[in-house]
Chain A
């Protein structure tokens, strides 16, 4: 039987399913039997999901205009890419 510490060490591989089937099965068994690790596993998964779900906000208008102006200058100076 895995300890919680051993389980946590493999948490990323467990969530991403990048381990081999035998290892995954052993971790799965631990999660089924250990309420704490079940909760940690579930809330870590939700943590990743909430971060991935955040879309970047549009950048402030002034920052955007300064960026485009800097690029314009560069394009004019170089007159072409590469």
Chain B
């Protein structure tokens, strides 16, 4: 195995300061560091490659244009995520306006809180599945969520924004974020349990 090339430590705030002072190389370094996460998020929200690429470009171009507005009150990446989520939601609205649910539609149905699939998992899905297989399973699980749940889950549990930052980015109340997050988590748990439950446990289905 070859060793990982020694990369200089990534100092986000130093790079941001340099980029704000007009250092193009510093900005490019920020792009190179975060592009994969922005692209993944854009793809998860829009569920479309072309839209995700547009979102990726728009996010970094906007970030560049508005770099002087970034005050350092949050992490730079959190600021970037907020730009990206707005771009992604605009794409989603455009695409969905003529067919499915708008993002602000009331989604409170009692059914969502029903808990199905109560079974323990095989010890460790990371060991049972290859990286690619696991990524596919997780992507499909996310895709199956309603957009309103999906975006909250992505921001809070994948991009690790706080509840407050998630609420602010999506223009939702704290309590709306919390209830959507809970439903998203429970629905994903159910889907993954179907996939990862200990094989022997299926036997009970015949009893």
Using CB atoms and an 8 Å cutoff, list the residues of chain A in contact with chain B: 4-5, 8-9, 11-12, 36, 39-40, 42-44, 46-48, 50-54, 56-59, 63-64, 66-68, 70-71, 74-75, 78, 80-82
Contact = CB atoms under 8 A, between A and B. Distances in A.
B20 A82 contact: yes
A67 B57 contact: yes
B118 A36 contact: yes
Interface of B: 19-24, 27-28, 31, 35-37, 39-40, 53, 56-57, 60-61, 64-65, 67-68, 113, 115, 118-121, 125-126, 134-135, 138, 157-158, 160, 178, 181-182, 185-186, 188-189, 192-193, 196
Contacts of A8: 113, 115, 182, 186
A80 B22 contact: yes
Contacts of A40: 115, 118, 186, 189
B125 to A, nearest CB: 6
A42 B196 CA distance: 13
A57 B40 contact: yes
Contacts of A52: 157-158, 160
A51 B22 contact: no
B19 A81 contact: yes
